[in-house]
Amino acid sequence: MSASVCSNDILSSSAYRMAIARALHGILEEPVAFEDRFALDLLEPETRMALLHNPFPFNDPKARSMRAGVVGRTLMAESAMLHALRSNRVRQVVLLGAGLDTFSLRYSHAMPDAQFYEVDRAGMLAFKAEKAARTAEPVAANVHCVDFDFESALLLPALTSQGFDVTQAATFSWLGVTPYLDEETVWQSLEDIASLPEGTSVTFDYRVYAELLDPIEQMISRFTAKLFADMGEPWISAFEPSALLARLHCMGFRELDHLGYADLNERYFPRRKDGFQIAGGGFNYVTATK
């Protein structure tokens, strides 16, 4: 998105839908697996009131599975980022395709010695800044907005233009983005991250080749892909898991935490009675650490 993108385009985007999913989790699920006190604040007032008044149309099995995927991948990424920050070796956090993610809002004030970089297109950054300014907690001075388009710019120069230090390790969250990029762009971004010092980590999700999925997952994947394509955001890339992990290892990532949807369910949603589980859909999740 460019700076001129209107709010209507943002409201129909996948980023806005993912924000709705995170907000709905705090309303519909019990117990709540992911606490986010700002989830509703970044939504438009009309959306917020509609969800609070009647959230149940968003609780069919397909919507619940998609919401579990959003929550599960967020928990995985935030766990990795907090582990890196609490190790005291990493003081730089990068949210690639930040959208309406609230990690910076929730942690930047408590970690004033860390620097938080929110990377997205200008229209989304401006929309988010407007909403965040109206919350009870103002945006901290250690949060930096980085206008960036993966298809037309290089990642590290964009970050350094806002003060990012390439001589220091960083922790990256890169969720819900790789499917919309071609494979070459995904690999180039991972190479850039891998060029940073020891201790650097990145958590991302990716699509698995359809022919490697079981029939039910293929059906779910086709349904979800059509949903996003109809929104004007078609999926482009997919990967073979063992080849992806091998290439990450060759890049210098020495620790690879690689999960399928069943693994994510077991880690974050075990023994739930409310059916809050990921049903499938062809995504895997990785935390790669140098």
Say if 2 falls within a structural domain.
no
Residues of the chain with pLDDT below 70 are: 1-8, 12
Q: How far does Cα 162 stand from its chain's mean position?
A: 21
| pLDDT at residue number 195 | 98
CATH number of the domain where residue 25 is located: 3.40.50.150
| pLDDT at residue number 3 | 38
Digit-coded pLDDT (tens) for 156-187: 999 999 999 999 999 999 999 999 999 999 99
Say if 176 falls within a structural domain.
yes
Say if 1 falls within a structural domain.
no
| pLDDT at residue number 2 | 35
Where does 119-214 have alpha helices with state H?
122-132, 155-160, 183-194
| pLDDT at residue number 6 | 56
Q: Domain count of the chain?
A: 1
pTM of the predicted model, to two decimals?
A: 0.94
Strands 201-207 and 171-174: parallel
| pLDDT at residue number 49 | 97
DSSP label of 140:
P
- Cβ burial, residue 54 (10 Å; 0-12/13-18/19+): exposed
Residue 22's SS3 state is helix
Q: Which two tokens stand for residue 187?
A: 């690999």
Specify the amino acid at residue 169: A
φ, ψ at 160 (rounded to 5°): -65, -25
Q: CA angle at residue 272 from 268 to 273, to 5 degrees?
A: 165
Going from the C-alpha of 114 to that of each of 16, 155, 195, 279, the distances in angstroms are 27, 20, 20, 37
Scanning the structure block, which residue is given the tokens 């990450």? 248
Residue 168: domain span: 7-289
